Every structure is written in C-alpha cells, then in structure tokens.
Amino acid sequence: MRQRVCGHLQVDAPSRLRVPLKRVGPLEPAEAESVIRATPAINLARTAIADSLALVAQDLAELEPPRMVVLVTDGDETCDGDVPAEIQRIAASGIDLRLTIVGFSIDDAELAPTFEGWAETSGGRYLPAGDADALSAAITEAIAPRFGLERLYLDGRIGPVSVIGLDEDIDVVAGGYRLRPLQSATGESIVLNIRDGSAVEVTYDRTLGLLPIGLKP
C-alpha cells in the first residue's frame, strides 16, 4: 500500500509520495484509512489529478493485480490535466488500475457525474461525502472488498447483475453466474450454478480469495 498526495505543502510539486511501498500483499484497510486520515488539507491548493494518477501508475507498476486507487478530492482537476485520457493511457499500458473516487464536500453538482464517469471507466465507483462523518464512512466503504456478479447465458453472453459486498445476500433466478473480485478484493473469479429454489453460500479469504462452501436447499 502506498499513499500519494497532491497540493500538500509543496506548491511547486504536483504530487508527493507520502508512504513508499513496504511490502507486497493485500491492502490493509485499517492502515490505509489511518494514513488518509492523517493527511492535512491545504487551503487553496491546486488539484493535479491527472499527474497524480500517472505517478500512482508508476508507483504500483511492479505489483501484481488487483491495483486499487482511492482518490479523495474536494474539487475538479485544476492543473490542466486530462483525467479521462490518463485513465485510458494507464489501461492501454496493460495496468489493471481500479479507481474509486471519494468526493469530499463537493458543491458543484456537475462534478458528481464527471467523477462517476472517471471511476466507472476504470472499474471503480464514485462515493460522495458531505461532511467529516460521511468522509470516514466513504473511505471505509471505498477500501472494503466488493464483488461483481455476472449472469452467464447459454449463448455465450455475459450480463452484469449487481455489485455486492461482504455479508450481503442477493436473490437471483436459476442459472449460471460468475462472481469476480472488484475494488480491494483479491483472487480469481468463480463460477456458480444456481438451481431453482436453492442457494449457494460463498466465503472470502484475503489470501485464498473466493470459495464456494456449499449448496443450501
């Protein structure tokens, strides 16, 4: 886990690496939240989102997927960077980078769909936070494991069904499904065959990944 900040004390630097990589392994949610909480907000600082994303991609280039970035911002890009182009460039380089954006006290209503578009392009999502309590909840949610459920049709089509978190249940019709890790979740996708009137229970281990543990009537 690394943390990079922009607009932090050094006005001549678009981005600064606060926490160098210390180990390879799954993200530690409590540690990530602690580091983010300790980062002070600097008044009138410029927001170099595109440049920071480019540097983050370099920071994480040597790591194995999944690579997750939580961008906490109180405003739009203000350093003439092209954020969508940078996200596309990162994807084109072969880096699987999931971007989740937490918008803190965003007053401009037009920014929400902009941030949503940026996040969805990279397989992430946008979480608004209007005050300090909401920011804490959003950061906790941003670094929690999430999973994408997809329907597998007999003709080869794959359709998105839902995105779910730990300890969440979802009702689906009988058929074939694929459950794949998103956000900070690790491991491989698994295929589930759901019979009518039955349920499949799945467990998640940060080292082993997703594991189906039984079929329940």
pLDDT in tens, 11-36: 455 566 666 665 455 556 677 677 76
Whether the model pTM is above 0.75 = no
The residue among 126, 67, 71, 115 whose CA lies nearest residue 94 is 67
Q: Tell me the DSSP string of 106-123.
A: ---TTHHHHHHHHHHHTT
Q: Using CA atoms, how far apart are residues 72 and 58, in angstroms rounded to an integer?
A: 19
The residues, any chain, with a CB within 8 Å of residue 197's CB and separated by 6 or more, are 217
- CB distance 35 to 19 below 8 Å: yes
Residue type (1 letter), 72: V
pLDDT in tens, 62-118: 777 667 788 888 888 888 889 989 888 888 877 777 788 999 988 888 889 999 999
